[in-house]
Amino acid sequence: MDGVGAVASGADGSGRRGVAGSPSRQRAPRPSYRDLTATAPHPVHHVRMTASSHLTRAHSFSAAAAQYASNRPSYPPALFDAIEELAARPLTGARVADIGAGTGIATALLHARGADVIGVEPGDGMAAQFHRTNPGIPLVRGTGNALPLATASVDFLTYAQAWHWTDPDRSVPEALRVLRPGGALALWWNTSALDVPWIAAQAHRIGHAFGTDPVVAANGASTRAADPSGHLGFAHRVVRWSRRVSVDTHLANIGSHSIFLVQPDETRTAFLAEEKQHLRSLFPHGTIEETYDVELLVATHT
């Protein structure tokens, strides 16, 4: 659900980008869902992320759920093609649990892909927005650290912008518990394309104002960070895509990230006002192209 300005290096942490293979899969019988649900005034420099501050940021989304749903980027069809390729099985007809579902951006796309999907979301505000946006998709409350799902009950476990809010010491065993043999864990993040000059300049301004975001850096789109235990063999792919939006939509997008949401109102407002001036000078027509590299990690349960 987050990760502003956090651009991962390669899946091995080296900066390399590529694709790894994956073993063949078997399909298993599908139970019913009843079986599943057993520039700021003073720059802030780099600070260590404490358990308290991590929790504060994780809970910050509930008050901004509508802003999140309206302005956050979606994901391209090529991402789901890549998930199917690396998992060696289709999403169509698969039992999928989308964890940290938020307002349901990824959940709705999985549903449209033909998956039999259920969302799992801990936040009150995000869950309420999910129900408003996706009334036909089931949602249960819970987190990746203690999944409210039966053992060996899903073919895919997905985390869109969400794995970094979990504790891998708990979420990795939980993923292995609920996945069927041959099932796949898919983690992905929309990350800023820093080879685009205006995006790199903006990331620098955000970093100068608020510090490097430690949330995704501590548990983000690299295999070492995502699974320090080494129990999962992740395949990696990068999918580039872009969208054209208004400057106001772009600012509402970045303002919906937790690194902004936890700032005092005056700090956040001042930064976004100054950022709007920067962007208006670069894009006087008022439309910009946001470019993303979706960092995808897929591991299979053998």
The tens digit of pLDDT for each residue in 69-95 reads: 778 899 999 999 999 999 999 999 999
Phi, psi of 147 (to 5 degrees): -70, 135
pLDDT class for 58, splitting at 50, 70, 90?
A: very low
pLDDT of residue 184: 98
Does the structure show a pLDDT above 80 at 183?
Answer: yes
Its domain, for residue 201, covers 33-300
When divided into structural domains, the chain yields a total of 1
Locate tokens 């819970």: which residue? 142
pLDDT class for 64, splitting at 50, 70, 90?
A: low
Residue 93: Cβ within 10 Å count:
13
The predicted model gives 165-190 an average pLDDT of: 95
Most confident range (mean pLDDT) of 41-50, 59-68, 200-209, 255-264 is 200-209
Tell me if 18 is assigned to some domain: no
Q: What is the residue-wise DSSP string for 36-62?
A: HT---SS--------HHHHHHHHHTTG
The CA distance from 168 to 173, in Å, is 8
Tell me if 1 is assigned to some domain: no
Tell me if 241 is assigned to some domain: yes
The CA distance from 5 to 254, in Å, is 9
Tell me if 24 is assigned to some domain: no
Tell me if 51 is assigned to some domain: yes
Tell me if 103 is assigned to some domain: yes
CATH of the domain at 88: 3.40.50.150
Q: Do residues 226 and 219 make contact, with C-beta atoms less than 8 angstroms apart? A: yes
Tell me if 22 is assigned to some domain: no
Tell me if 215 is assigned to some domain: yes
pLDDT class for 107, splitting at 50, 70, 90?
A: very high
What is the tally of helices (H) and strands (E) in the chain?
A: 13, 7
pLDDT of residue 256: 81
Read off the tokens for 46. 């780099």
Sign of the CA dihedral 134, 140, 144, 149?
negative
